[in-house]
């Protein structure tokens, strides 16, 4: 900065002198030119002194500025070191906290993934069971076995073994899934468990109105045919009851029939084929159990009446024997009373005998009472 200022002042002074010299030269005035030269030299000397003083002052200021800059630099470096240490410390603490939080998050994530894995395994197992159930329901034989198992569980849990039988062949060579052995009336009731579930499945999977209409017709026709088959196969005059039961292994199908196909239910009533679900069959079986109990009571009524008559005779004989025993007790009481009187008299006579043995009143005894006492003793 100092060098630039000197150059500027020197250049300015030189330009001024040159301009004056040119003016004087053009005017051809030597005296003035000399005077101007003298002034120039003096000014130049003064300017050099001032420039030297300014350079020295500038150098001093530059030194002070350098020292101030150095101090400021040290202060800034110190402050930056402190800030850097604080930032490093904060960053370290933040990284440590972040690491702890990350580890905790990863631990929680692993636990959740473990739970999700367990749930996924359960879902997979459930899916396999659902697929297995679908396979069972899609196979007629397996579906029949599924319904028979439900029917078997319900019947065996409510009725006594003598009240039912499974897979019974009737006189028309038709095999009934289950028969209830009831007294006449109503007689033997047949239960069929082979419901056409494929028609209900088609009804549930219908996607549009046309498919639903076709599925409704298919479901209705399948149920009506099944009702007709049960009526023809399992209602045999003189062998079975006048009605039979059609077992539905699902409450949803039972609700679907009664909610949307009332004409099918009415047809079953006319055919005397009663449609039952697991819940309604349980109520029916409890009613059957009550009927069997009542029939058993009626069957045993004669035996009970005979036993009651025999019991009445036994009670009469017991009353006679009690009366006879009472008379014996009364006679015994009288005999006991006589025995007490006799024992009292004997006691008195013994006392008199003791008195006699002691020599008291011997003459009176010889004259009057001795023969009587001896007779009583005998």
Q: How do residues 158-205 score in pLDDT, each as one tens digit?
A: 888 888 898 888 888 888 889 988 887 778 889 988 877 778 888 888
- Confidence bin at 266 (pLDDT 50/70/90): very high
**CA pair distance 126, 131, nearest whole angstrom:** 8
3-class secondary-structure state, position 295: helix
Residue 192 β-bridge partners: 246
For 15, 183, 185, 260, 298, the CA distances from 295, given in Å and listed in that order, are 150, 7, 10, 39, 5
- Residue 377, pLDDT score: 42
Residue 19 has pLDDT above 80, yes or no: no
Burial of residue 293 (CB within 10 Å: 0-12, 13-18, 19+) is exposed
- In angstroms, the Cα distances linking 306 to 291, 310, 316 are 24, 6, 15
User: What's the pLDDT at 72?
Assistant: 79
- Sheet strands (E) in the chain: 164-169, 175-180, 189-192, 244-247, 273-276
**Rounded to a whole number, what is the largest CA-CA distance in the chain?**
231
Using CB atoms within 10 A of its CB, is residue 21 exposed (0-12), middle (13-18) or buried (19+)?
Answer: middle
CATH fold of 151-299: type ii restriction endonuclease, domain 2 (3.40.1560)
Q: Tell me: pLDDT of 131 over 60.
A: no
pLDDT, one tens digit per residue, over 56-112 is 787 787 788 888 888 877 887 788 778 878 877 887 787 788 888 888 888 887 888
| pLDDT (mean) for 267-279 | 90
CA dist 319 and 225 (Å) reads 71
| Mean pLDDT, the chain, whole residue set | 76
**Where are the chain's structural domains?**
2-103, 151-299, 321-377
pLDDT surpasses 70 at 371: no
Q: Closest Cα to residue 281, out of 230, 252, 245, 253?
A: 245
Task: Give the three-class secondary structure for 359.
Answer: coil
Q: Model confidence over 303-327: pLDDT tens digits?
A: 777 777 787 888 888 888 888 888 8
């Amino acid at each position: 900065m100092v060098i630039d200022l000197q150059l500027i002042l020197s250049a300015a002074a030189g330009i001024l002198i040159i301009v004056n010299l040119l003016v004087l030269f053009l005017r051809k005035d030597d005296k003035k030119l000399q005077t101007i030269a003298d002034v120039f030299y003096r000014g130049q000397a003064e300017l050099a002194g001032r420039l030297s003083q300014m350079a020295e002052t500038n150098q001093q200021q530059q030194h002070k500025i350098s020292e101030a800059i150095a101090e400021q630099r040290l202060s800034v470096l110190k402050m930056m070191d402190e800030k850097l240490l604080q930032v490093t410390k904060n960053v370290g603490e933040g990284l440590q906290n972040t690491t702890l939080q990350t580890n905790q998050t990863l631990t929680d994530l692993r636990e959740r993934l473990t739970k999700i894995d367990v749930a996924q395994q359960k879902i997979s197992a459930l899916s396999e069971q659902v697929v297995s159930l679908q396979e069972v329901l899609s196979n007629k034989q397996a579906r029949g076995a599924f319904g028979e198992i439900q029917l078997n569980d319900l019947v065996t849990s409510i009725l006594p073994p003598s009240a039912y039988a499974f897979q019974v062949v009737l006189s028309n060579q038709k095999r009934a899934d289950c028969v209830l052995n009831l007294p006449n009336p109503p007689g033997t009731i047949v239960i069929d468990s082979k419901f056409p579930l494929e028609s209900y499945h088609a009804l549930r999977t219908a996607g549009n109105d046309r498919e639903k209409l076709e599925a409704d017709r298919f479901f209705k026709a399948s149920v009506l045919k099944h009702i007709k088959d049960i009526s023809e196969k399992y209602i045999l005059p003189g062998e079975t009851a006048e009605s039979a039961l059609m077992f539905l292994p699902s409450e949803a199908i039972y609700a679907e029939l009664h909610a949307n196909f009332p004409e099918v239910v009415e047809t079953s009533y006319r055919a005397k084929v009663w449609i039952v679900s697991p819940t309604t069959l349980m109520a029916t079986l409890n009613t059957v159990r009550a009927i069997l109990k009542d029939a058993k009571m009626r069957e045993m009524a004669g035996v009970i009446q005979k036993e009651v008559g025999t019991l009445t005779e036994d009670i009469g004989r017991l009353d006679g024997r009690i009366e006879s025993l009472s008379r014996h007790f009364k006679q015994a009481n009288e005999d006991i009373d006589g025995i007490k009187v006799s024992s009292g008299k004997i006691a008195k006579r013994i006392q008199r005998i003791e008195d006699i043995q002691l020599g008291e009143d011997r003459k009176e005894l010889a004259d009057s009472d001795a023969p009587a006492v001896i007779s009583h003793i005998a």
